[in-house]
């Protein structure tokens, strides 16, 4: 799932669209607001607020724009079907 921070002065929606482009190489339009989740990641000692949307890809896949930290961590994009994504999330939630 694309994710990242919202820049100072940037709307949440604009930040989500930008992060999708940077992390998948695809331009998207937001279709539906799914809600907000919060989590605390002890290993990072950070509190996260996550804004979740349904989005539609409206461009061809472009070039990824990972940050240096993301590249260093070996992050990558893997495209899966919706059903496979649900299985992954259900497995991770257990």
Instruction: Set out the domains of the chain in order of their start, with CATH numbers.
Output: 12-93 (3.90.79.10)
In the prediction, which pLDDT does 92 show?
Answer: 65
Check whether 9 has a pLDDT greater than 80.
Answer: yes
Percent of the chain with pLDDT over 70: 97
Question: What's the rounded mean pLDDT across residues 52-59?
Answer: 92
Query: Which residues, listed in sequence order, are joined to residue 49 by a DSSP beta bridge?
Result: 38
The residue ranking higher by pLDDT, 18 or 76, is: 18
- DSSP code at position 7: P
Across the strands, what pairs with 46?
41
Is the per-residue pLDDT at 89 higher than 80?
Answer: no
Number of Cα atoms under 13 Å in the Cβ half of residue 32:
2
Question: Would you say residue 15 has pLDDT above 70?
Answer: yes
């Amino acid at each position: 799932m694309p994710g990242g921070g919202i820049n100072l002065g940037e709307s949440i929606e604009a930040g989500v669209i930008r992060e999708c482009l940077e992390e998948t190489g695809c331009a998207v339009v937001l279709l539906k607001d799914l809600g907000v989740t919060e989590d605390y990641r002890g290993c990072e000692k950070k509190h996260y607020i996550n804004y979740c949307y349904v989005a539609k890809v409206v461009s061809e896949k472009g070039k990824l724009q990972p940050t240096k930290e993301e590249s260093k961590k070996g992050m990558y994009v893997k495209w899966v079907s919706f059903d496979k994504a649900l299985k992954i999330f259900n497995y991770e939630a257990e």
